[in-house]
Amino acid sequence: MILKLSTNINRFKWYDHFLFINSLRHQSNQSSSKLYIQGQNDPERPKIREYFYYIDHNGMLFLDDSRMKNFTSCFKEKQFLNFFFKNIKFNKMGRYEKEFPYISLCGIERNFIRCDDVPIVYTHIVPNTKDSSKNEFNLIIANSDLAFPFNPESLYMLPESINTEKDNDDDDDDDQSILKHGGRIYHEADDRFGSYGLIRSMLAQEIGNLFVLNEQKIPIIFKWNGVEYRLSNRLASIVIGNKDK
């Protein structure tokens, strides 16, 4: 009897959250948008409903057209976040691919996603209590229950600028190319997310204090848990290539 009551309570909690999400979507519908309307139907497949989301640099998830984007207005329910982020992939639906390069599918719903940087943002480092034989720590994705193995060697800090050679042979000086999001720290991720994720600012400050820099002020070693890890910086070409687009 107690088990049955507990199950029913959990169902009510999920149903309440479902109503809460729909209420947010309804409120968002009131704002005008030339590009889309929250909850619109695909003209070619009327049963498909489309919603539009935004992920900020702290991994917080919002309805894209929400006027206020802060902690009080972001989605926080773990079950919803788990499902949403687990199903993120590149948008190859033929709709909104440029404006919303990622998508998370949920039954008859298409959740289009744009983001401040990348869709995967690591918010915490936690001990791996399930299988410590593989890795000692995990990175938590967007305050959900989803985790990715922490590999210290894969950490990469995007420089504020890079040197690019000028075409003019008469000038031997290097031109400084300012990079978007310079100073942010990244870590490898699943290929379906674009092969790397962003370290949240608060966590990045802690990680940054454990870097050893070379003469060019580029991190080359990461001191973690009593071990010095030499950084591979293999993400450099991938991240810089994306930022230059």
pLDDT in tens, 87-98: 999 999 999 999
Report the C-alpha gap between 91 and 200 in whole angstroms: 24
Q: Is the pLDDT of residue 16 over 50?
A: no
Give the sign of the dihedral formed by CA 120, CA 124, CA 130, CA 136.
Answer: positive
- What would the DSSP string read from start to end of the chain? -HHHHHHHHHHHHHHHHHHHHHHHHHHHHTS--SS--TTEEETTEEEEEEEEEEE-TT--EEETT-S--STTTS---HHHHHHHHHTEEE--SSSSTTT--EEEEETTEEEEEEESS-S-EEEEEEE--S-TTT-SEEEEETTSS-EEE--GGG-EEPPSEEEE--S-TT--SPEEEEPTTTT-EEEE--GGGTSEEEEPHHHHHHHHTTEEE-TTS-EEEEEETTEEEE---TTHHHHHHHHT-
User: Please, which pLDDT band fits residue 194 given cuts at 50, 70 and 90?
Assistant: confident
> Residue 113 and residue 99: Cα distance in Å, rounded?
8
Residue 11 CB: number of other CB atoms within 10 A? 10
| Tokens 């985790």 found at | 147
Could you tell me the CA-to-CA distances from 124 to 117, 141, 149, 187, 204 in Å, in that order?
Answer: 18, 8, 12, 12, 10
pLDDT at 172: 46
Whether the pLDDT of residue 197 is over 90: the answer is: yes
Map out the domains of the chain as residue ranges.
Answer: 32-115, 121-243
Res. 43 pLDDT band, cuts 50 70 90? very high
For residue 17, the model assigns a pLDDT of 47
Beta bridge partners of 88: 104
Q: How far apart are alpha carbons 240 and 85 in whole angstroms?
A: 24
Amino acid at 136: E
Two structure tokens written together for 173: 């000086």
What digits encode the pLDDT tens for the residues 67-88? 999 998 999 999 999 999 999 9
Cα–Cα distance, 138 to 122 (Å, whole number): 10
